[in-house]
């Protein structure tokens, strides 16, 4: 796939590089990161997405781009409601995989000797691992209530604070979610998984803020150097995976029924306004609501763990959600395209919403600064708090990166880790780890990912989101 450099951080796939492209491809990267992109098939996926009916502006890719199912991970596309399509391949299987950051009043140094106890406490309190079951066993009726109202369900059960819903994208709930569109199999997979972490790149991490880049915004967000924070990275578990699986079959038929030509069956799709398209959006929003409730519950259990281990009251801990953002989602949003305000189906797959100051969908508390953007590292690497910008709204439908992005497949990472103790390597750099097994740590070792500091520099220097603070990992639990 030929790609041309536009400027220091932007690369272009011309509209004539792939048959049927309706818009160009734009990749945000630098001279170093682009080398890894060229070596996989993700640029072909960028070009393939550019053929989808109703796509506007460009098929976009963030600097953490890597090969995925249908759309590359790190991909962003937007399609018109009137004549465009929606595709599950533009969201992926882990619907609303996302991140929640908890802040506190504590300085990390004041609790450093308690880190092993805290990690053990979190590992005991939050079930993790492949197919793990949680402490909540919901009736079908109660599970459907979760799918309808998301984070609010957890708060109603005493598993969180009202203000945390306000600090969550979409207030932690899509109002159009329709549980009757979620299959019995999906419900069965999800009934015991609420409040569970899962496996893969999901984690709960104790962190310390080691850099402040924007003092004024950091203060507005309640961040300070040396502060102890907790990050939760998880999604919709088996329920979301099954929703995607179910609707890929539906979309395969819909693509043929509606006479849509696609270059890759993984981009199976349907018109946004069609029955199939609307059913997928509403079912997918159910899975998104499940994920928000899931992270809300784990946040509450993390807070309880800290109070118990440190023997301090809620007031002294003051642990609360700064923000919770989705990474894999389709949303109907108002966007400006060629000077016109238009509603679009914005697909973000491995990308984070990054709305600017004054945007009506940013919680009023943070509207003067812009939306907090939470970007996770993985175990031995930094994580970041950024803030959304007007440029992102103009160039990328209000989107930025979502993490570092893989450079090694899971099997390649396991092979590279053979004969090594990733746990001991992490302990040597000051990171305490508890995980289900050696293979999980090998799959997710820092070398399996791109340099997150470089990825963040790209989006910062492009103006897609601006650096506010950086956190270093202190302790982590993984599935």
Residue in 66, 300, 402, 460 annotated catalytic: 402
pLDDT tens by residue, 131-157: 777 788 899 999 999 999 999 999 999
CATH code of 398's domain: 3.90.1860.10
Q: What pLDDT does residue 137 have?
A: 84
pLDDT tier, 130 (very low <50, low <70, confident <90, very high otherwise): confident
Cα-flanking dihedrals φ and ψ of residue 247, to 5°? -85, -15
Q: What is the pLDDT of residue 66?
A: 94
pLDDT of residue 399: 98
329-340 pLDDT, tens digit per residue, is 999 999 988 888
Specify burial of residue 333 (Cβ count, 10 A radius: 0-12, 13-18, 19+): middle
Whether 241 is catalytic: no
Q: Per residue in 204-253, pLDDT tens?
A: 999 999 999 999 999 999 999 999 999 999 999 999 999 999 999 999 99
| Rounded mean pLDDT, 393-415 | 92
Q: Which two tokens stand for residue 439?
A: 């293979």
> Structural domain of residue 265, as residue ranges?
4-478
Least confident span in 355-369, 386-400, 429-443:
429-443
pLDDT at residue 171 in the model:
96
Give the separation between CA 457 and CA 463, rounded to whole angstroms: 10
Helix (H), strand (E), coil (C) string for 94-131: CCCCEEEEEECCCEHHHHHHHHHHHHHHHHHHCCCCCC
- pLDDT of 438 strictly over 90: no
Q: pTM of the full predicted structure?
A: 0.96
Write out pLDDT tens, residues 150-190: 999 999 999 999 999 999 999 999 999 999 999 999 999 99
Task: Give 407's pLDDT tier (boundaries 50, 70, 90).
Answer: confident
Domain count along the chain = 1
């Amino acid at each position: 796939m030929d790609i041309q450099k536009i400027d220091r951080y932007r690369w272009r796939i011309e509209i004539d590089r792939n048959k049927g492209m309706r818009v160009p491809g734009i990749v945000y990267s630098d001279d170093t990161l682009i080398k890894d992109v060229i070596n996989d098939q993700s640029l072909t996926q960028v070009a393939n997405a550019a053929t989808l009916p109703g796509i506007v502006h460009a098929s976009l890719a963030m600097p953490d781009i890597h090969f995925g199912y249908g759309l590359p991970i790190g991909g962003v596309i937007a399609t018109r409601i009137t004549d465009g399509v929606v595709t599950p391949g533009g969201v992926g299987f882990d619907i609303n995989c996302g991140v929640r950051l908890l802040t506190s009043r504590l300085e990390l140094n004041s609790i450093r000797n308690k880190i092993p106890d805290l990690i053990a406490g979190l590992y005991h309190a939050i079930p993790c691992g492949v197919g793990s079951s949680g402490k909540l066993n919901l009736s079908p009726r109660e599970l459907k209530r979760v799918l309808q109202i998301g984070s609010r369900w957890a708060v109603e059960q005493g598993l969180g604070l009202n203000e945390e819903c306000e600090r969550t994208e979409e207030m932690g709930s899509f109002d159009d979610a329709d549980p009757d569109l979620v299959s019995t199999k999906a419900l069965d997979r999800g009934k015991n998984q609420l409040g569970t972490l899962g496996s893969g790149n999901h984690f709960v991490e104790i962190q310390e803020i080691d850099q402040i880049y924007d003092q004024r915004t950091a203060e507005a967000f309640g961040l300070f150097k040396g502060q102890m924070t907790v990050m939760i990275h998880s999604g919709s578990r088996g329920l979301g995976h099954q929703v995607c699986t179910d609707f890929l079959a539906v979309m395969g038929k819909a693509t043929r029924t509606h006479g849509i030509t696609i270059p890759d069956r993984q981009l199976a799709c349907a018109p946004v306004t069609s029955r199939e398209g609307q059913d997928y959006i509403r079912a997918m929003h159910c899975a998104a609501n499940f994920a928000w409730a899931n992270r809300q519950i784990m946040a509450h259990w993390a807070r309880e763990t800290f109070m118990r281990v440190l023997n301090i009251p809620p007031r002294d801990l003051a642990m609360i959600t700064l923000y919770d953002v989705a990474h894999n989602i389709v949303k109907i949003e108002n966007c400006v395209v060629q000077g016109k305000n238009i509603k679009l189906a914005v697909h973000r797959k491995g990308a984070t919403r990054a709305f600017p100051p004054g945007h009506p969908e940013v919680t009023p508390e943070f509207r003067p600064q812009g939306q907090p953007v939470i970007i996770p590292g993985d175990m031995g690497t930094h994580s970041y708090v950024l803030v959304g910008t007007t440029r992102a709204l103009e160039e990328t439908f209000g989107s930025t990166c979502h993490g570092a992005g893989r450079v090694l497949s899971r099997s390649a990472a396991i092979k590279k880790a053979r004969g090594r103790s990733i746990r001991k390597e992490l302990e040597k750099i000051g990171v305490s780890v508890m995980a289900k097994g050696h293979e999980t740590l090998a799959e997710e070792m820092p070398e399996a990912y791109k340099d997150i500091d470089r990825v963040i520099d790209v989006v910062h220097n492009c103006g897609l989101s601006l650096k506010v603070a950086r956190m270093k990992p202190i302790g982590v639990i993984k599935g």
